[in-house]
Amino acid sequence: MLAVGFEEDVELILENLPPKRQSMLFSATMPSWVKKLSRKYLDNPLNIDLVGNQDEKLAEGIKLYAISTTATSKRTILSDLITVYAKGGKTIVFTQTKRDADEVSLALTSIIASEALHGDISQHQRERTLNGFRQGKFTVLVATDVAARGLDIPNVDLIIHYELPNDPETFVHRSGRTGRAGKEGTAILMFTSSQRRTVRSLERDVGCKFEFVSPPVVEDVLESSAEQVVATLNGVHPESVEFFTPTAQRLIEEKGTDALAAALAQLSGFSRPPSSRSLINHEQGWVTLQLTRDSAFSRGFMSARSVMGFLSDVYPTAADEIGKIHIIADDRVQGAVFDLPEEIAKELLNKQIPPGNTISKITKLPALQDDGPSSDNYGRFSSRDRFSRGGGSRFSRGGARGGARGGGSMDRRGFRSSRSWGSDDEDGFSSSRGGRSFRSGNNRGSRFSTSSDDDWLIGGSRSSRSSSRDSSRSFGGACFNCGKSGHRASECPN
């Protein structure tokens, strides 16, 4: 409450209390400014610290999960997370801005009953919203950090950090809305690949350990939805059941257990079979595939262009319809993941693949290279500085540099990478590095021909133009292999 603007009000109350009294102040965290306030208004106080020197700052019984997402897939994943992890219980979703709270709540309402809570809502409406949430009139509260402290809401089963908190204290307070009074709870942190280092910093600062998991697959969502329907059925009044018993008996005689299964499917919202979903952006109708190659069969490193070149050789239709490409962040593996429409993915998996390369459908994303700068403000300032003083430290623990060579992500129009590639246009993409340029057109099968194709093209062949190029000309670009300027990868001493 002090951090969000009530400091003067609290101090006014303390100054008007009788001089002879017993005062007790409670705080989930004890930063220096809280200690300073206690020294000012308490006389020789006794400090009772329930955390002490323990590295773990969170209450016991809170399970911590971290899920890598993209900015576009967050809202789609959110409803699945609530279905699978809350199991019909209460959920608080924390956003950074009031606008996000309103928009996320509105998007969820069509699937799960939810309300928004933030500073622009009147006090009367806040009380109505909180009472409705406590009484179970709706099960999802989407809120800014105004709900992270000072609220007594029992039996919250799930906390979702839709956006990363700005500091470790806020994370502790947010997560502390669940697992209260000795009960168990779950907290899920959603982050993008560029925020992975921030998540590691948060682990270190709070003394916690996240279990990194993938977004729920369709089978998990179906199972959890069915369980919630069964729990709802248990609440149907017995007298109402009697009216439907004859029909139920007739259906069982005609269709057996299929009748009950059909009813569960309809009540769960899956009257039609669900299509496959991308693991990258969670869109329906897409399949995420993984391409890996044996380093013994190629030189150089995996890049978004090498994936496109590979697909152009093996199945040009897949290269035309590919979604985003992400490079695997594992030095021991030369690989990438990408999305394809479901039918095209099936065709690609049946194609003949060049030796040393493997394409497979995956159910869990590996660690991916960063695809851009961090967008969070974690570690830049404390919540007190943010709300009251406006000052604070200027360092940032968040963020991450661009991915390693060939890192970044690529979509069907163009690609982004850590090496300042050029901009794309409607027909394809163009880029430049060290004086060399690449441009694609509608002919995807030949757009990647350069003087050293075998440095990056999986299963590709050297362009005929390379033999006619004057090898004595000085090369002003950077080597694909070692990153140094002045020579090509084919001439690299390393």
Residue 100: what pLDDT?
Answer: 92
> What pLDDT, on the 0 to 100 scale, is given for residue 66?
94
Kindly report the number of other CB atoms within 10 A of residue 416's CB atom.
Answer: 22
Structure-token match 């030949």, residue found: 446
450 in the same domain as 317: yes
Tokens linked to 47: 């400090």
In this structure, the answer to whether residues 332 and 187 fall within a common structural domain is no
Range of the domain at 6: 2-41
341 and 202 housed in the same domain: no
pLDDT value, residue 33: 77
Do 468 and 422 share a structural domain?
yes
Same domain, 106 and 142: yes
Final residue of a domain: which of 185, 202, 217? Answer: 217
**Model-level pTM greater than 0.85?**
no
Q: Which residues make beta-bridge pairs with 55? A: none
Phi/psi at 374 (5° precision): -65, 140
**Within a domain: 49:** no
* Chain centroid to CA 422: 27
Domain membership of residue 478 (yes or no) is: yes
Please tell me the predicted confidence (pLDDT) of residue 12: 87
Please indicate, yes or no, whether residues 184 and 233 belong to a single structural domain of this protein: no
pLDDT of residue 406: 40
- Is there a single domain that holds both residue 155 and residue 293? no
Q: Please state the three-class secondary structure of 452-465 as a single string.
A: CHHHCCCCCCCCCH
How many folded domains does the chain comprise?
A: 4
89 and 149 in a single domain? The answer is yes
Domain assignment present for 272: no
Are the CB atoms for 277 and 283 separated by under 8 Å? yes
Instruction: Say if residue 456 is in the same domain as residue 477.
Output: yes
* Ramachandran quadrant class, 491 (left: phi over 0; alpha: psi -120 to 50; beta: rest): alpha
d(CA 421, CA 428): 13
475 occurs within a structural domain = yes
Q: Please tell me whether residues 89 and 190 are part of one structural domain.
A: yes
**Which letter, b or e, does each residue of 113-142 get, where b requires 16 or more Cβ atoms within 10 Å of its Cβ?**
ebbbbbeebeeeebeebbeebbeeebbbbb
Residues 88 and 146 in one domain: yes
Q: Phi/psi at 13 (nearest 5 deg)? A: -65, -45
Mark whether 324 and 471 lie in a shared domain.
Answer: yes
53 domain residue, yes or no:
no
In a domain, 279, yes or no: no
> Would strands 62-68 and 211-213 be described as parallel, antiparallel, or unpaired?
parallel
Question: Is residue 173 in a domain?
Answer: yes
Query: What is the predicted pLDDT for the residue at 189?
Result: 95
CATH number of 458's domain: 3.30.70.2280
Question: pLDDT by residue for the chain (494 residues), tens digit each?
Answer: 666 667 788 888 888 888 888 888 887 777 777 788 788 888 888 888 876 665 556 777 899 999 988 777 788 889 999 999 998 899 999 999 999 999 999 989 888 889 999 988 888 898 999 999 999 899 999 999 988 877 778 889 999 999 999 888 889 889 988 887 778 899 999 998 788 889 999 998 888 899 998 888 888 888 888 888 888 888 888 899 889 999 999 999 999 989 888 988 888 888 887 778 888 877 878 899 999 988 766 666 788 888 998 899 999 999 999 988 888 888 788 899 999 999 999 999 999 988 888 999 988 888 777 655 556 777 665 444 444 433 333 333 333 333 333 444 444 434 343 333 333 333 333 333 333 333 333 343 333 333 333 333 333 333 333 333 344 345 556 665 666 777 666 677 77
Residue 69 is predicted with a pLDDT of: 83
Residue at 393 is within a domain: no
Contact between 460 and 312 under an 8 Å Cβ cutoff? The reply is no
Residues 6+ apart with CB under 8 A from 201: 378, 379, 397, 398
**Quick one: pLDDT at residue 3?**
62
Placement of tokens 């089978």 in the chain: 219
